[in-house]
Structure 1
Amino acid sequence: MAAEMVGSDMNRRQYLIGAGTGIGALPVVERISVATSHISIDIVEINTPLQGGDLLDMTAELENSGSTDKRVELDFIVGETPEVVGERTAPVEAGTTRTVDFLQFRTYPVRTDDTFPVRLETGADMAETMVTVAGVDPCDAQYVYPNRDQTLTVRPGTTVIFEVDAELVKQQGTTHWYVDGDYVTTPIGPWPVTYFSAVGRELFTHTFDSGGAYLVDTAVTADDGNAASRWELTVANDGAEPPTVDATQPSTSELAADETTTIELAVSSSAIELDRVVWWMTQSDVILAVSDISGTSDTASVQIDGGCHTCQIVAWVINENNMYTAVSPWQFEGFDEDGNEGDGKVSVRIQSTNSPVIGGEVLEVTASIENTGSSEVTRNVTLVIGDDPATVDSRTVTVPAGATERFTLTFETYPVAQDDSFPVRVVTEESADERTVTAHGTES
């Protein structure tokens, strides 16, 4: 569905499948039939009208009036310029009717009311209805960061943190984020949760790689009404640069795991005032401190009381426009500059998953261990899932010097009523990699 600019609005933008909250009573929608075979389709429930940013949720019925079982390919289509936003395969036994639910997509937080068609197609039949999305007013500017009333101009490759104050999130509910109209994510995983608890803000980070003009939107959704915010950015070669780290103390990359140490960064910014440094400890995924900094050059420090052997210190250096630079100059002793123990330089990577899966199906995570060292290594590898981490699979992998070994870890997902997205991590003693996966809600 092509984008259309209406003033500063962006109606009829792309919609993507997303997870949502519970849906209330849904009206019945009249079916439009063009059946040419024994398969017919009805839209029987849909939660229109709704507010921009809400999750649109439909339920359909497939009827097989023939004498043989069928597997029906169902396309979920949105917009006056039709765009397929979801696909589903559903088996329907001969002479029966089955329900297909959790047909969902996340709507865009439009500023003015918008109406557009949604359609389900099987190739043999089609059902269509119109959806109305009410416009959403901007939230109070005091709840969002950086300042949305100015257009940011940054250089290609710059990462910006967008934040919503915890007070608004607690009032309104859940944040959903969009870049140029495309639904990107709801923040999940241990770091957004930790940041929200420690700093008091929901965060979304995005790296702007290419030149041009961008819009970043957030919808904060709640049962009693939604709020929204929008930032306009320009990416150009003459844009502002993120902060830089000029020096570290101690200068060595190794820290003692069982000693108290003060670590320090000398930081600077070419034009925009500095704001803060967020000190993270990896693996345990905690914020050690947040240091205030100011001016165009400053020094930030924090005292740490040791740490685990798989931990590194990561510092986010942030300026007043929420442009930031992340550095990880230290790790705890016994590990080389890549965070690897001894002579074996080991790193783990998630290569692929079979996400999305239907709740109850087996999630497969294919990963690899690369050993760039000069001796063979053996590592215990675990699959950890969820915001409240749980280990669900493990295996031992031996990797010859200079080689890479691939392997697959699995987890039987839970049958869920609604779509659920959650993080999965493949972890070794000194390395880890993370992806977000989705389990679709089960069909009745």
Structure 2
Amino acid sequence: MNRRQYLIGAGTGISTLPLVSSSGGATGHISIDIVETNAPLEGGDLLEMTAELENSGSADERVDLDFLIGEDAVMVGERTVPVGAGETRTVDFLQFRTYPVRGDDTFPVRLETGVDTAETTVTVTGVDPCDAQYTYPDRSQKLTVQPETTIIFEVDAELVQQQGSTHWYVDGDYVTTPAGPWSSTYFADVGRELFTHTFDSTGSHLVDTAVTADDGNTASRWEVTVAEDGLEPPTVDATRPTSRELAADETTTLELDVSSAATELDRVVWWMSQSDVILGVSDLTGSSDTATIQVDGGCHTCQIEAWVIDENNMHASVSPWQFEGFGAGDDGENGGSVTVRIQGTNSPVTGGEVLEVDATLENTDTSEVTREVALVVGNNPETVDTQAMTVPAGGTEQITLVFETYPVKQDDEFPVRVETGESTAERGVYVHGTES
């Protein structure tokens, strides 16, 4: 069941019902009670619960604890908790990011141990839409785009600074809070919080953001339809210089010829990878234009990544150049041009679980290429998984990279990057805290 089905519904209650614990006739010496929640809370807030596990037996136990929400009992977390013989243990960090409902909604939450169950009912109060002037693209336009189209959704820094932080949802499921150096750089330099999503499957989709603050939350919602006859993202038609390699100690003028068959062009954001900086933003006009920037050299192995964005915030990313020292193109195996896109992750996960990052590699060259693909995690980047992938000429390949997360006690957010050498894709992920 889609979690949105019960979190979008308009409930009538506005207060938390009394906490209830019931074993339902089960036997055993392990009991569970919910002792505290932070409900009622606003849509988009983090539901937090505290429970107590009691072991009335004479032996130490390791208890499997499941956290479920909704009438149809969707599991949103699981944990193994040690409880000593004759002891009662407090279990914190039982959390779930609620959906930014427009009307008040009431739903059950439950903890299960296999031999006992504790349940209560919580209420999430509805939140109002934020002012449309703070969100991009224009949410009044219900976009229809082609499969594999990437859209950048943005919230103006003025609203974020007033409200606090943003949380993003796709089709009712919580995805992420923006994290990592690229998100923070974009916020500081461009003045907008951003969330990037690639739409793979046809049909209707919802993208929501909750902007949360102590004095009240607001929200924004975009409706996107994916169809084969939808709008096409912008394209890069030519690059100058044509040579891929740039001198690291010389000033060079870079040019991109870009066009859009769908709408007017808006801008190009120029990045330098590894140093994680925006070199500049070039405004565009019309359905075709040339973006230009002058760079005064760069770091060895760094690449230039350009985001081409149209007025609907549809997005194309290219990495045509690298500063000398990387060594691409030295032989047939490393020739060609590969673009990487993160298609999705299994975030959020609980600390200690395996994080999976699904990516697509696209080879735009006329010959087969082989790349070593790396998964890099954290604000202090660490490579945690690598795989060699061969991509046929003009083709694509799917890859899943994995990372066993740390059993952190508190919730953690950090960036993950998939790198091929000439292309990088980044996304923020979320890890629920757990107890050791």
Query: Under a length normalisation based on structure 1, what TM-score does the superposition of the two structures give?
Result: 0.79
Is 1:76–1:119's contact at 8 Å kept on the other side of the alignment?
Answer: yes
Q: 1:297–1:412: structure 2 CA closer, same or farther, 3 Å change rule?
A: closer
Deviations along 1:57-82, one digit per CA (max 9) or x if unpaired, are 10110001111221111111110111
Task: Name the CA distance, whole Å, in 2 between partners of 1:87 and 1:362.
Answer: 10
Q: Which residue of 1 aligns with 2:378?
A: 386
Is 1:341–1:430's contact at 8 Å kept on the other side of the alignment?
Answer: no
Q: After superposition, where does 1:11-410 map in structure 2 within 5 Å? A: 11=9, 29-34=19-24, 35-336=26-327, 339=328, 345=334, 356=349, 358=351, 386-387=378-379, 389=380
Task: Name the CA distance, whole Å, in 1 between partners of 2:158 and 2:143.
Answer: 25
Question: Residue type of the partner of 2:37?
Answer: I
Task: Name the CA distance, whole Å, in 2 between partners of 1:354 and 1:134.
Answer: 25
Q: 1:353–1:344: structure 2 CA closer, same or farther, 3 Å change rule?
A: farther
Shift of 1:424: 5.4
Is 1:212–1:236's contact at 8 Å kept on the other side of the alignment?
Answer: yes
Task: Name the CA distance, whole Å, in 1 between partners of 2:135 and 2:192.
Answer: 9
Shift of 1:32: 3.0
Report how many residues are paired: 397
Task: Name the CA distance, whole Å, in 1 between partners of 2:254 and 2:319.
Answer: 12
Deviations along 1:282-322, one digit per CA (max 9) or x if unpaired, are 11111000000010111110000011121111111100000
Q: 1:255–1:354: structure 2 CA closer, same or farther, 3 Å change rule?
A: same
Shift of 1:332: 1.4
Q: 1:110–1:66: structure 2 CA closer, same or farther, 3 Å change rule?
A: same
Q: 1:36–1:187: structure 2 CA closer, same or farther, 3 Å change rule?
A: same
Task: Name the CA distance, whole Å, in 2 between partners of 1:289 and 1:333.
Answer: 21
Task: Name the CA distance, whole Å, in 2 between partners of 1:250 and 1:100.
Answer: 59
Q: Secondary structure at the match of 2:208?
A: strand
Is 1:99–1:443's contact at 8 Å kept on the other side of the alignment?
Answer: no
Question: Residue type of the partner of 1:32?
Answer: S
Shift of 1:4: 6.6
Q: 1:249–1:424: structure 2 CA closer, same or farther, 3 Å change rule?
A: closer
Task: Name the CA distance, whole Å, in 1 between partners of 2:273 and 2:255.
Answer: 18
Task: Name the CA distance, whole Å, in 2 between partners of 1:306 and 1:151.
Answer: 42
Q: 1:133–1:164: structure 2 CA closer, same or farther, 3 Å change rule?
A: same
Deviations along 1:66-106, one digit per CA (max 9) or x if unpaired, are 11221111111110111111111111111111111101111
Is 2:17–2:122's contact at 8 Å kept on the other side of the alignment?
Answer: no
Is 1:163–1:204's contact at 8 Å kept on the other side of the alignment?
Answer: yes
Is 1:27–1:45's contact at 8 Å kept on the other side of the alignment?
Answer: no
Deviations along 1:210-232, one digit per CA (max 9) or x if unpaired, are 21111110001111110100001
Question: Residue type of the partner of 2:414?
Answer: F
Q: Secondary structure at the match of 2:95?
A: strand
- Please, which runs of 5 or more residues in structure 2 have no aligned partner? 11-15, 358-371, 389-400
Task: Name the CA distance, whole Å, in 1 between partners of 2:403 and 2:239.
Answer: 41
Is 1:334–1:341's contact at 8 Å kept on the other side of the alignment?
Answer: no
Shift of 1:53: 0.5
1:441 has 2:433 as partner: yes
Query: Under a length normalisation based on structure 2, what TM-score does the superposition of the two structures give?
Result: 0.80
Shift of 1:137: 0.2
What's the C-alpha RMSD, in Å, of the aligned pairs?
Answer: 3.7
Is 2:237–2:257's contact at 8 Å kept on the other side of the alignment?
Answer: yes
Deviations along 1:2-36, one digit per CA (max 9) or x if unpaired, are 46769xx9339xxxxxxxxxxxxx99834334351
Task: Name the CA distance, whole Å, in 2 between partners of 1:179 and 1:344.
Answer: 38
Task: Name the CA distance, whole Å, in 1 between partners of 2:263 and 2:249.
Answer: 38
Is 1:11–1:108's contact at 8 Å kept on the other side of the alignment?
Answer: no
Task: Name the CA distance, whole Å, in 1 between partners of 2:147 and 2:155.
Answer: 24
Task: Name the CA distance, whole Å, in 1 between partners of 2:91 and 2:19.
Answer: 15
Task: Name the CA distance, whole Å, in 1 between partners of 2:348 and 2:412.
Answer: 11
Determine what percentage of the aligned residue pairs are the same residue: 66
Question: Residue type of the partner of 2:411?
Answer: D
